[in-house]
Chains A and B, each alone.
Chain A
Amino acid sequence: GNSVTQMEGPVTLSEEAFLTINCTYTATGYPSLFWYVQYPGEGLQLLLKATKADDKGSNKGFEATYRKETTSFHLEKGSVQVSDSAVYFCALNVIGDYKLSFGAGTTVTVRA
C-alpha cells in the first residue's frame, strides 16, 4: 500500500534556527509528493510539491527534494520565524489512488 512516515514531534526551535522534518514514503506506483501546512485553527494549505524524482519544491523559504533512491522528501528551512509555528504534513498521491495519503503530522513551535 501507499504510506508516509514523518518525523514525530513536537519540535520546538528558536527563531532563526534551521528546521528539518524528515519524511519517507512507500508507494506501489510513482507518487507525487506534497508538504501541507496547517496553522492553528485553520485548514491545510499547500506549502510545496514535487511530481517527479529529483524535483525540488520550494515556497516561503522552505525546500524539499524528491529523492527516489531514498524514498524521501525531507522538508527544510534555513531560518525559521515565529510565524512558521504550525503542523506540517507530508503526503503522497499515486495514479489510480485518487487521494492524498498523509503522514501523522509534525507540530513545530518557534519561540522568539
Chain B
Amino acid sequence: DTAVSQTPKYLVTQMGNDKSIKCEQNLGHDTMYWYKQDSKKFLKIMFSYNNKELIINETVPNRFSPKSPDKAHLNLHINSLELGDSAVYFCASSPLPSPQETQYFGPGTRLLVL
C-alpha cells in the first residue's frame, strides 16, 4: 500500500517537449507539495496545494503548471522542457499545511531532458 505514489518513475525526453508527472496519495491528507531536487541533492519547494487550492507558488517558470483535480492528486505539467529541468521531482503530502506536520514523500520522478 504505497502512501504517496508518482508516475512515471523515470522520464527521458527531448528539449521542447511537453510532459506530465502524476502524484497520488491515499493518506487522506489535505495538503500536497512538489519539490525539485537538483544534481547536488538540493531540495526546493515548487508548489503546494491545500484542499485543491494553491497556497505556495515559488519562483518557478510558468512552463510548470500544477493541477489538483481532487485532494488526493497533484499533477505537474511541464511545457517546452529545457535542459535545466533535468532533476528529480518529489511529490509530498501532509494532513494540514501546519509547520508541525510531517510531510510524506513519494519515491521521486527522475527527469532527464536531452
Contact = CB atoms under 8 A, between A and B. Distances in A.
For B41, B48, B55, which residue has the most chain A Cβ atoms within 10 angstroms?
Answer: B41
B62 interface: no
B44 A102 contact: yes
A6 to B, nearest CB: 11
A104 B42 CA distance: 5
Interface size class of A (residues with CB under 8 A): 20 to 34
Interface in B30-52: 31, 33, 35, 40-45, 48, 50
A45 B99 contact: no
Interface stretch (A18-26, A66-74, A86-94): A86-94
A56 to B, nearest CB: 16
Contact of B100 (A36, A42, A51): A51
Given A43-B105, A45-B105, A97 B42 contact: no
Interface in A17-57: 31-32, 34, 36, 38, 42-46, 49, 51
A70 to B, nearest CB: 20
Given A43-B107, A43-B108, A44-B105, A99 B45 contact: yes
Given A42-B107, A99-B48, A32 B43 contact: no
Of A44, A87, A93, A101, chain B has the most CB atoms within 10 Å of the CB of A44
A97 B58 CA distance: 11
A51 B102 CA distance: 11
B90 A44 contact: yes
B41 A104 contact: yes
15 contacts: A42-B107, A42-B108, A44-B90, A46-B103, A51-B99, A94-B99, A98-B31, A98-B55, A98-B99, A99-B45, A101-B45, A102-B42, A104-B40, A105-B42, A107-B41
Given A42-B108, A51-B99, A99-B33, 4 more contacts: A43-B105, A44-B43, A98-B55, A102-B44
